[in-house]
Amino acid sequence: MKKLLQITTALVFSFLVSQSKAQVVTGNLSADWTLTDINGVSHNLYTYLNAGKTVFIDISATWCAPCWGYHESHAFDSVWTNHGPAGAPGVSGTTTDDCMVFFVEGDGATSEACLHGSTGCVDPNNSNTSQGDWVTGVDHPIINPTSTTTPSVNAFNDIYNLGYFPTCVMICPNRSMTEVDQFTAAELYAAKSACSAASVVVDGEMITSLAYNTTLASCDSVTPTFRLGNIGTDTLTSATITLQVDGVTQKTIYWTGNLGTYESATITGVKVGSSVAGTRTITAVISNPNGVVDPTSTNNSTTASFVIYPTVGGAFITESFESAGIPSAWTITAGGNNTWEDAPTAGFNSSSSATLNFYNISSGQIDIMTLPPMSFTGTSAYLTFDVSYAQYSSSNTDKLQVEVSTNCGTTWTSKYSKAGATLKTVPPVGGSVQFVPSGDNQWRHETVNLSTYAGQTNVLVRLKGTSNYGNNLFVDNINFVTSVVGIEENEMLNKLNVYPNPITNNAIVDFNLSESNNVSITLVNALGQLEFSKDLGKMSAGDQNYSLDATSIINGLYFLNIKIGDTTITKKVAINK
């Protein structure tokens, strides 16, 4: 299924690529639509949902091989046969009668003939070919929206945030959506158990939605958003909603309104908080719908997480990812199933880093890695890091940003932003190959000037990745420092050499001084612990060297710091005896 958008002609899917489509967001509500199938039968989505049916939609393209493979698994056929509407063609006489199933041709450039095979198929972007006969033997409705239908094929795909084929969606009677990507028939029907249907007179629910509360963070309090739904047959006019933090009720909301069956409303504007730093849990619970006991307890609550940051930041962070990968104190805000994770086999002059697997992340998905707060008490501050990235093709614009907040995450300012060709460190890597850097020459060193925040005692920094469905990104050696290598210092670094590296027992440190200066050497391990320190005193201008004895130091990754006057030059070294 990988890179279907890229391996097809850009013209066909320009509407998808240009709008940076992603995947279905669990809990988002489906818009209504009315479309006619290839047999001339009109179908209205909300009519089926109002009848209490769960709707399954397979959005595919006739040229798509993975789509054909899933179609041939007959998973949707089986759901139709065993759970489709009673009396419909091909539906069993013992049907549960609680599901509706659709196949939708999602590529507007293909003709209806392509549904029947390659004969007469008009699809100039794919050599007028089809994977096969999609119609024969299929009883559930097949819909072929075009640019002239209402909604058009593009508008229909927009409803489901289409990013790739096939995209399979489950829509509950309360209109909430979930992606059910190529599930078996048994898995499809099992997924339906998460849906609520109106079976009693009065019944309220809290609808779980991943679209809400994705980046809640503060030093004291946050304002969450939840969705209240009515799954009773009577109109819902009142309910009690409690907001709990880590199991303790903080706020009670006495809601009044007017919600018909399967209608919903958002609940927001009420703050909750904590004085305990870390990740906290908010639970929203509904009770007393229309003044009576809620008959269904299984759908009465939903949860969200938020982060409470310390009010005073800690020391500058130095992280090489060598000891234990991404530190547990860092906060990962995932936009989907794939997000920031450890890369234990790739690093700059090392074997570990952090990675975003853009290769498998849908376009438009945002993933955030937030560092613990720091105190920028000096007069200057810089972030340095190493990055490695490959586009999938020259058109991919995966993005990496560095953002800063000085108000506990309420607002963020971008201080670094590179995407696509500006971000890449190697030529595009396409096909079925997932990019992993194979050498230090595939990395680039980056410096971000954060000196405008000098003097702030609580600074948050986060790395934000936005996928364009390209190839993988790696980040290593995240360091905050008070000074960086400038032009003259860079020349000094180029004249610094440690050999052999990796070090066995002893190494020679060669460097050049443009003028007489005080010199000292320290060796720090990956945890920031000092292993060795030597003050070389004032040394004369010219080539200099120092013999480093590493016989008593255990194997591992280290940072060799040479301080020349007020300037510190750092070089990564390894000891491997």
Instruction: Tell me where in the chain the CATH 2.60.120.200 domain(s) lie.
Output: 318-481
Which H or E element spans position 375? none
Identify the pLDDT of residue 19: 32
Please give the pLDDT value at position 379. 86
pLDDT for res 542? 76
CATH architecture of 487-575: Sandwich (2.60)
Lowest-confidence pick of 22-26, 93-97, 326-330: 22-26
Structure tokens at 189: 């029907």
Which carries the bigger pLDDT value, residue 514 or residue 488? 514
124 compared with 138, residue with greater pLDDT: 138
pLDDT category, 282, cuts 50, 70, 90?
A: very high
Closest CA to 286 of 236, 241, 229: 241
Q: How many Å apart are CA 103 and CA 47, to the nearest integer?
A: 18
**Top-level CATH class of 4-194?**
alpha beta
**Residue 493 pLDDT > 70:** no
Computed from CA positions of residues 205, 207, 208, 214, in that sequence, does the dihedral angle turn out positive or negative? Answer: negative
Is the confidence at residue 17, as pLDDT, over 50?
Answer: no
State which of 378-382, 425-429, 526-530 shows the largest mean pLDDT. Answer: 425-429
Say if residue 138's pLDDT is above 80: yes
How would you list the strands of the sheet with 530-539, edge to edge?
A: 530-539, 517-525, 556-564, 567-575
| CATH 2.60.40.10 at 204-308, yes or no | yes
Query: What integer pLDDT is reported at residue 321 of this predicted model?
Result: 95
Indicate if the pLDDT at residue 398 is higher than 50: yes
Predicted local confidence at residue 485, as pLDDT:
55
**What are φ and ψ of residue 384, in 5° steps?**
-120, 145
pLDDT, one tens digit per residue, over 315-332 is 999 999 988 899 999 999
Mean confidence (pLDDT) of the chain: 89
Q: Using an 8 Å Cβ cutoff, are 274 and 338 in contact?
A: no
- End-to-end C-alpha distance for the chain, whole angstroms: 45
Residue identified by tokens 């239908």 is 149
Residues of the chain with CATH 3.40.30.10: 4-194
Taking residues 553-566, report their average pLDDT. Answer: 86
Tell me the average pLDDT across 259-272: 95
- For the cut 80, the answer to whether the pLDDT of residue 488 exceeds it is no
Is the pLDDT assigned to residue 181 strictly greater than 50?
yes
Q: What is the pLDDT of residue 163?
A: 76
* Tens digits of residue pLDDT in 189-233: 999 999 988 989 999 999 988 778 888 889 999 999 999 999 999
Handedness of CA 64, 67, 36, 145 (dihedral sign): negative
Mean pLDDT of 121-144: 93
Torsional sign, CA 301, 223, 23, 230 = positive
Q: Is the pLDDT of residue 495 over 90?
A: no
Residue 16, pLDDT score: 34
Q: Where in the chain is the domain with CATH 2.60.40.10?
A: 204-308
What is the reported pLDDT for 15?
31
The pLDDT tens digits of the residues spanning 410-464 come to: 899 999 999 999 999 999 999 889 999 999 889 999 999 999 999 999 999 999 9
Residues of the chain with CATH 2.60.40.3080: 487-575
For 80-101, what is the mean pLDDT? Answer: 97
Which pLDDT does position 27 carry in this prediction? 85
Instruction: Write down the CATH number for the domain with range 318-481.
Output: 2.60.120.200
380, 460, 446, 382: which is closest to 417 by C-alpha? 446
Is the model's pLDDT at 18 over the cut of 50? no
For the record, the structure tokens of 461 come out as 């920094």
- The answer to which of 2-16, 47-61, 443-457 has the lowest mean pLDDT is 2-16
Residue 272: per-residue pLDDT? 96
Task: Give the pLDDT score at 23.
Answer: 65
> What number of other Cβ atoms are within 10 A of residue 190's Cβ?
12
Q: What's the mean pLDDT in 498-527?
A: 85
Question: How far, in Å, are 60, 174, 193 from residue 196 at the CA level?
Answer: 27, 7, 8
How do residues 462-484 score in pLDDT, each as one tens digit?
Answer: 999 999 989 999 999 999 998 77
The predicted structure's pLDDT at residue 230? 96
Give CA–CA dist 511/110, Å, rounded: 66
pLDDT at 487 over 50: no
Identify the band that residue 486 occupies on the pLDDT scale cut at 50, 70 and 90.
low
Among 23-37, 316-330, 485-499, name the one with the lowest average pLDDT. 485-499
Task: Please say if the pLDDT value at position 85 is more than 90.
Answer: yes
In sequence order, what DSSP letters do the residues of 98-160 get, joined into one string?
Answer: -EEEEEEE--TTS-GGGGG-STT---GGGTT--SS-SSTT--S-EE---TTSSS-HHHHHHHT
**Which one is predicted more confidently, 266 or 16?**
266
